[in-house]
Chain A
Amino acid sequence: MMLPWLLLIPFIGGLLCWQFELIRPNTAMPRWIALLSMVALLVMALVMWVSGDYSLSQVVGNTPEWQSEFRLPWIDAFGITFHLALDGLSLIMITLTGILGIMAVVCSWKEINRRVGFFHLNLMWVIGGVVGVFLAIDLFLFFFFWEMMLVPMYFLIALWGHESEGRSPVSAAIKFFIYTQASGLLMLVSILGLVFMHYTQTGVFSFDYGILRETPITGVMSWVLMLGFFIAFAVKLPVVPLHGWLPDAHAQAPTAGSVDLAGILLKTAAYGLLRFALPLFPETSQAFAPIAMTLGLVGIFYGGVLAFSQTDIKRLIACSSISHMGFVLIGIYSGTLLALQGVILQMVAHAFSAAGLFMISGQLYERLHTRDMRQMGGLFGRLGALPGFALVFVMASLGMPGTGNFIGEFLILFGAFDVVPWVVVIASGGLVLSAVYSLILMHRVYWGPPREKSTIARLDGREYAMLLSTLVLTIALGLYPQVVLDISQGAMHEVRHWFAVSPSFAG
């Protein structure tokens, strides 16, 4: 019975934050409530992590294996149920959400001074929506949360965002919203198509993942429906031709927004591909894999080049996400167990390193009031420990051994090599680009002659603790990735099984 609570904690916490502000403005109470709800979310996730059994020994049968389930009737006419379920994959994602949620609350402690309660309402509801996405097993419910989380994210960007090159944050927020909502509707149509397909075959309406997975679909229809899902996820991931919203949204979001956006919102797309797109349409996905992987390659290089040419530090990090998600896409569509495990690790590691970099750029902005790298330079030595942290996160982002990102990229490339050697060879070339833009970032911001001699405010205890814990997580993941891999193994095995049962793969 813990699943509904995972969902309710952020939603209720958010409402409390808002109400507190209405009753007594200008208190720190909303921050503490938000922090407390995030800690509660994380603790619950960790309890399930420790108490559950996610080993490979579970038999992969025709019914999905869930650690725990929760089901309530909802809309009977369409066979829609309020169905939540948790397996290793969702658990990892929810734990990640909890950790990044805490970071987002802590890193906005000083940054956000206006409408604190309403800010935390939105922040908590984004988290709640994301948790819902990771738990929902009914396709209607999944879509419900998928769209619902856009609204608070829209507010975070529009109301607490920064101007960038004269553009208001509102337009970035609207762009983000339209991209994701329109593609989401395509997914809704696909879901409906799938449901009616199932209805004509069996005469029963159902939106349940476990049931729809059994629906055989072939021909043009399966392509159309699969593409509906793929485009929705591709916009969120993002995959290159559909990435237009990402740099703007990131550059103009407040730090907490960027942390959440890069850390967990992008991961909902990869989760969606793993959970829904592949198992629902195994054969079509198999046939589509070469195209998806090509798009992944394009993303790796295009994102890298784009990152290299940015002058805004947050845009640079945002574009580097495009490049990193290219690897994730290749890993997902290569379909081997090793690569899929690598995908999970890459997602977790990227969440930490990107969150670290975004927090650092937020702290730089608070001190220098600019994100333009041309106006920085020579900061090493003027900022205390901050450049040191930055160096570690940049190294993590370029995939240095000893960090989780290395393990992730390595597993993806290694796992995919059996299936698609040439793709792997080209993708490996992309790693060079990531080294280039990462070092450029370091170079432009921290090295070179300092502009002034005076020192800038050093990190305070809160900022130090925040960066240090992110750093510890990044390194720990690099040194002992087995913690995560053990949990995801069962779920990834199942994905691989569904992906592999298609006849074209057997040959």
Chain B
Amino acid sequence: MNLTLSHLIALLPLLIVCATVIVVMLGIAWRRHHVATATLTTIGLNAALFSLLAVLTVTPIRVSPLLLIDNYAVLYMALILIAGLASTTLAHAYLEGFNDQKEEFYMLLGCSVLGGLTMVASDHLLSLFFGLELLSVPLYGMAAYAFRTRLSLESGIKYMVLSAAASAFLLFGMALLYAESGSLAFADLGARLTEGGGHASWLLMGIGMMVIAMAFKLSLVPFHLWTADVYEGAPAPVTAFLATVSKIAVFALLMRLFMSAPVTDMASLHTTVAFIAFLSMVVGNLMALRQDNIKRLMGYSSIGHMGYLLTVVVASDDMALLTTGIYLITYVATTLATFGVIALVSSPWQGSDVASLKFYRGLFWRRPYLAAVMTVMMLSLAGIPMTAGFIGKFYVLATGVEAQLWWLVAGVILGSAISLYYYLRVMVMLYLHPTEEEEYDASSDWGQRAGGIMVILLALAVLILGVYPQPMIMLVSGATLG
């Protein structure tokens, strides 16, 4: 095919991130400098973010059979880039005290972002697999970045082994689909099924294996066993990255697959997904109840949240597309700020993260605004009005009610009721009397640092979107497929 200028414009964000990774790599080879590397990465990701404005002038456009760059892709690209930027900012403060090579981290992060960008634009099984691996492989390294601590290394290896298993499932599923339909493009998949030919059971098995692989990545029950350990062991900025970028990319892709590939229109598939969703809501939240480590707690809570969001996959209608965007935006903002606070309290790196709940006791009386940010985030995760999380939950419930998925609606209510217990426990911990124990704290000038400013901005965004969500809704409703 001919590559015209508009194709190049459509590829700009990918190209810019690619260039950033290469420049960062050459820079490291030339001279190690932590601040310069972080700044380069930030500039590159920002440039990619702004280039999306140019991309919007040419969308929707198909660039090779592999990539379809439409408004939907642009929205999630923006989200991924913002989450990547936030993680970079957190990593900079965090790695300041790291007693090993710091610079390669940014290269890994850039690669992973690139994988995410590819995934949300992919319209073909090949680019799907390519993107997913590009997203995951650097993440192994990032999770194990502080490899001299046992937990971090363990987390990296665990993630690697389970991810590889998931990739195997994905490949086998894709092979089955290809064998049956003779095509790897989403739109063609299962076209033969609708024509009446083909073996439905092979198709079902193929698509089922793909769903399992993605359920691994989204840590849905019963494929969730790695989540808490990886969340706990990985350094806080990496956990922030893992909890946002990888979830956005995989979920956006899953949604596109279910919306555009006819092969997914099977009642049994939807029932299975509904079952997984219900289990995730209940089991994730139940497991979170007894955690005393806030990173583990967030890991289990993310299982519950992905369960709520899976409701929209079961519904798979226009409303569901809107809900996906709104829920992901609110969830990403909330998660980033939560891990931001954890990272700030743990920065600079002192050997391990400050993740045990008891260290947060009485934070409000020492760092009132930081604790206020955390409070808003806990309320947002719990879906209390005046926070963005409420708007997200509102949309999920609306989707469920509209599609009359009463079991899932009941699951959302049950899950929310259970989850309140642990979110409130974290929240009240911030306000109780401080004990005499050894205390960790964010440095007193945290508010002037980039990470601090970002966390406060995110908290403001969560509050503003919670009270006035209209701009967000307009934005997301513009992000149509195709």
Contact = CB atoms under 8 A, between A and B. Distances in A.
Nearest to A150: B384
B428 A196 contact: no
A189 B431 contact: no
Nearest to A143: B385
Contact of B424 (A77, A159, A177, A196): A177
A189 B397 contact: yes
A14 to B, nearest CB: 13
Given A188-B397, A189-B397, A151 B470 contact: no
A145 B385 CA distance: 8
Given A75-B469, A143-B385, A170-B428, A151 B417 contact: no
A75 to B, nearest CB: 6
A188 B385 CA distance: 12
Contacts of B469: 75
Contact of A186 (B365, B368, B413): B413
A182 B431 contact: no
Chain A residues touching B, range: 20 to 34
The prevalent SS among residues of A at the interface is helix
A177 B420 contact: yes
A192 B468 CA distance: 19
A502 interface: no
A111 interface: no
A148 B384 contact: yes
A173 interface: yes
Interface string A272-315: 00000000000000000000000000000000000000000000
Contact of B384 (A22, A115, A151, A158): A151
Contacts of A182: 413, 416-417, 420
Contacts of A151: 379, 384
B470 A75 contact: yes
Interface string A165-183: 0000010011001100110
B401 A174 contact: no
A48 to B, nearest CB: 26
Contacts of B386: 144, 148
B405 to A, nearest CB: 11
B428 A192 contact: no
Chain B residues touching A, range: 20 to 34
A178 B285 CA distance: 14
B477 interface: yes
B424 A154 contact: yes
Contact of B473 (A77, A155, A170, A188): A77
Contacts of B409: 189
Contacts of A145: 385
A181 B416 contact: yes
A178 B385 contact: no
B172 interface: no
Contacts of A74: 468, 470
A76 interface: yes
Nearest to B410: A189
Contacts of B413: 182, 185-186, 189
A53 interface: no
B394 interface: yes
A147 interface: yes
Contacts of A173: 424, 428
A193 interface: yes
A185 B409 CA distance: 10
Contacts of B473: 75, 77
15 contacts: A75-B473, A77-B473, A143-B385, A144-B385, A147-B384, A147-B390, A150-B384, A170-B425, A185-B416, A185-B417, A189-B401, A189-B413, A193-B401, A196-B398, A196-B402
Interface of A: 22, 74-78, 115, 143-145, 147-148, 150-151, 154-155, 158-159, 170, 173-174, 177-178, 181-182, 185-186, 188-189, 192-193, 196
Given A143-B385, A148-B385, A158-B428, 11 more contacts: A75-B473, A170-B432, A173-B428, A174-B421, A178-B420, A181-B382, A181-B416, A181-B417, A185-B413, A189-B401, A196-B401
**5 closest A-B pairs (Cβ-Cβ)?**
A182-B417, A192-B401, A144-B385, A185-B413, A148-B385
